Amino acid sequence: MITRNQTILYVLIITVYFALLSPNTGLNYIPLVYGQAPNSSFQAEVSAIDNMPAQKVRVGDIDIAYKQLGNGSNTPIVLIAGGGMTMDMWNPTLLKELSSNQTVIIFDNRGAGESTIGTEEYSITQLANDTAGLFDALKIGKADILGYSMGSFIARASFNESRQG
């Protein structure tokens, strides 16, 4: 059984990885090294994910936009974006690697990207409820959850041992 401290440590490690080790920035996938052009393979990965149409599902008072990548038979992994971040800002190389043997689900939080804002108060608790509602709507029993920045708080608030992968 994973303890609360192990869960927090896992979320922090993932957050640091994305913040420090990601080869590209979140915005527009601009290379970190000035003057370095992205290679064509990277551009193709970005295009494939960006051009994938989002699906929508009704959760409470909002429509949540999401994309499902890969079709692995292993426990799916749900990536929860940080504040002001959309699902299309995830590093495409990471998504490609994760989806090579696992189903990956990315989505826009309430009021971000293609998800509607609704009438409920915007809070970590509400975003966690939205995430749990997405799990229910997509019939996800157990999943690995990865949260980036504010997404790690949402992940922790929506963490439920019965959904643990």
Query: Could you tell me if 65 and 54 are in contact, meaning their C-beta atoms sit under 8 angstroms apart?
Result: yes
Residue 32: HSE in the Cβ half-sphere, 13 Å Cα cutoff: 8
pLDDT at 28: 45
Q: How far apart are CA 139 and CA 134, in angstroms?
A: 8
Over its C-alpha atoms, the chain yields an Rg (Å, rounded) of: 16
55-59 and 77-80 strand pairing? unpaired
98: phi then psi, degrees, rounded to nearest 5? -60, -40
Average pLDDT rounded to a whole number, residues 6-30: 53
Tokens encoding 133: 């509602």
pLDDT at residue 24 above 50? no
> Which CATH code, of 3.40.50.720, 3.40.47.10, 3.40.50.1820, 3.40.718.10, is assigned to 4-163?
3.40.50.1820
Quick: pLDDT tens for 108-122. 999 999 999 999 988
pLDDT at 18: 57
Strand partners, 55: 66
The single-letter code of the amino acid at 64 is: I
Q: Give, as one character, the DSSP assignment of residue 54.
A: P
Helix axes 92-99, 40-50, angle to 10 degrees: 80
Query: Could you tell me if 60 and 130 are in contact, meaning their C-beta atoms sit under 8 angstroms apart?
Result: yes
With bands split at pLDDT 50, 70 and 90, how would you rate the model's confidence at 14? low
Q: How far apart are CA 159 and CA 4, in angstroms?
A: 10
